[in-house]
Amino acid sequence: MSRQRLLILITVVLFFLGLVGTGGYRRHQRQAQQSSPRQAYPWEKFIRLNGYWNGVGNLVPFKDYVPEQQSNATAPEPERKHDATSGATPPFDPVAFNPYPEYDSYDYLEAHSPMQKCFLDEAETMSPPDIYAYPGVPQNMTAPFFGSYKELGLAEDVCWERFGRFAPYGYGYDHRDGGVGLSDKSERAGSERVYQMMAGGTDWRKVNWGRAQEACTKKNKARFEPQADPKKKRVSRQAYILRTWTGYRYDDHQLLTIRAMINELNIKSGGEYDVHLLVHVKDTSIPIWTDADIYQQTLEENVPEEFWGIATLWSEQLMRLYYPEPFPDNFDNPSQHPVHSVYRSAHFALQWFSQEHPEYDYYWNWEMDLRYTGHYYEFNDKVANWARKQPRKGMWERSARYYIPEKHGSWADFARMVEEETNLSQESPIWGPTVFPNNGMLTSPAENFPPRSYADDKYEWGVGEEADLITFNPLFDPTKTNWVFRNDINGYTLDAAAPPRRVAIITVSRLSKRLLDYMHNETYQMRHSMFPEMWPPSCALHHGLKGVYAPHPVFFDRNWDLDYMDQVFNRPKKVEDSVFGWGEHNQLGSSFYYNSGFSGQLWRRWFGYKENNEGGSMAEVSGSGRMCLRSTLFHPIKFERGPTD
């Protein structure tokens, strides 16, 4: 090597080392700045709750259950049998959980066509499995702060541990037998009873979900068609849509969840639901809409084989063709993303899907980082039933608030309180389609105009009417917050104020075909659109459709003062304090929000993993056994595996 080349090499090396050193120093400075103590949020000063970690060894009948928030901290723990190697033995056995209608009953068959039993395989030798819950609750288990099992009609007297919930889908037995393993180091006292009731596990490698769903629907076709006999009720068809993408990693835990969804929603119900994977192809250069071979190759490279038959691909480029530019008169675009990006218009693909699949009455928009400890059919069915019973009077106003039973009392008490607050406010209640200055709107349906005045209605209008929109966080007015995307609105005239609108954080929801048709036509014909969490609620608001927030149980990691909680979540003093904006830090300790930290901690420890150096198999064995939680909807779960010890 020449001397000149050597000098150049030395200079380059020294320069590189200088960059590395400077970068390391800057990183150290940033870390030093970030590690400086900040002032604690007020909610962080509340006492941590620990009843979540009470396990199956602490089970008591629900009539004897006392929530942690009401318990005497010095009260003795329930007596329990304990094995130093396997853990605390549950005091009673789990039972098969069956939330379905009595399909063989006289009453059901009087009102409906018979339900034909479905199977997992073409030969009809593989029956769909049951799942198992414990008929009780761990003593001093923490109670939810928001929402109510009783109000929604969900079973409040059972709890779920990981074997009863997921062993039927492969948890706890080897891949060689068609399972997923995962339980090698698990505390498992009493779990053998689940396997005895299962009478052998299902070999999930042999299941083709697309074929199984299609066969189940075909077998039960008569239930979903208009009935010639007026005494027979048509059963609604529903699509359950999982929003996934190319490159998504389907962990074994995710396989358990998707299998549970399909089995419980479709196979066991006789085809009432179809589960779909709506797969976002991120590479917009792949012509999935013109080349069948490329479409199939892309699908097979990005989706596990057992789900190939339930997957549908889409891309942003396809949406540009389906909803072509222009989308004029944008009020604000804080993200700076184009309108067709999934970040700003995830609803485009859902609208498109509903036009491609008009056979469904309702569409559940579900995210891949949701998890549920309970039975999917029970949750969906009870939520829909509850929403159907809700009157339209005060509907939007009730749905704008969190329901805190220990603070607000019964749902009837809560409804009266909201009506009183509405009457005392300077704002008119929402009653039918919303009128505002615009540059062209679709005509709202005649049946959505009130049959009488707001004052004359006795909470009658809307009762028995299916909800067009069901959300799982409140439907709030973004003008009363500093939520960053509140003005991301397209297509409405800039010569007037922004249109009235509502938002539900997290796009998870159930939408009717009618609502999706309005969303599609407003987008296609009028070029109207908004940020994804704002568009379905706002479209429902504009056209007088029925939209409700379902008060499902939500837990917190600390023992909040209820008056303070009500003030923070329902009555912020100024827009900057709203929990849907700068005040969203108040949601970090909850089990359900877009940025909750507690949800992941609770879910992973329920699966037996250590979190923040707490929990794990040794803690379960030496304590009250594995966790047993009541039915709980978690979001977000960004990862599921963790150390066992």
> What does the domain layout of the chain look like in residue ranges?
394-505+531-549
Please classify residue 23 by burial: count the beta carbons closer than 10 Å to its beta carbon, then call 0-12 exposed, 13-18 middle and 19+ buried: exposed
pLDDT band at 36 (very low <50, low <70, confident <90, very high): low
| pLDDT, greater one: 12 or 312 | 312
For 468: left if phi > 0, alpha if psi spans -120 to 50, otherwise beta; the answer is: alpha
Write out pLDDT tens, residues 200-217: 889 999 999 999 999 999
Helical residues (DSSP H) of 443-583, grouped into ranges: 513-526, 535-543, 562-570
Burial of 299 (0-12, 13-18, 19+ CB in 10 A): buried
- Is residue 625 within 8 Å of 56, Cβ to Cβ? yes
pLDDT given for residue 2 in this prediction: 44
Indicate the pLDDT class of residue 389, thresholds 50, 70 and 90. very high
CA–CA–CA angle 214, 216, 217 (5° rounding): 65
Worst-scoring range by mean pLDDT, 220-234, 406-420, 562-576, 592-606?
Answer: 220-234
Q: Is the pLDDT of residue 272 over 90?
A: yes
Closest CA to 71 of 158, 146, 143: 143
Q: Is the dihedral of CA 73, 566, 505, 240 positive or negative?
A: positive
What whole-number distance in Å separates Cα of residue 549 and Cα of residue 399?
5
| Spacing of C-alpha 322 from chain mean position | 28
| Residue-level pLDDT at 18 | 37
Half-sphere exposure of 31 (CA within 13 A, CB side): 6
Q: Is pLDDT above 50 for 3?
A: no
The pLDDT tens digits of the residues spanning 144-200 come to 999 999 999 999 999 999 999 999 999 999 999 999 999 999 999 999 999 999 988
Whether 16 has a pLDDT exceeding 80, the answer reads no
Average pLDDT estimate for 468-472:
98
pLDDT of residue 134: 98
Contact 92/136 with Cβ under 8 angstroms? Answer: yes
Q: Is the pTM for the entire model greater than 0.85? A: yes
What does the block give as tokens for 145?
A: 């702060």
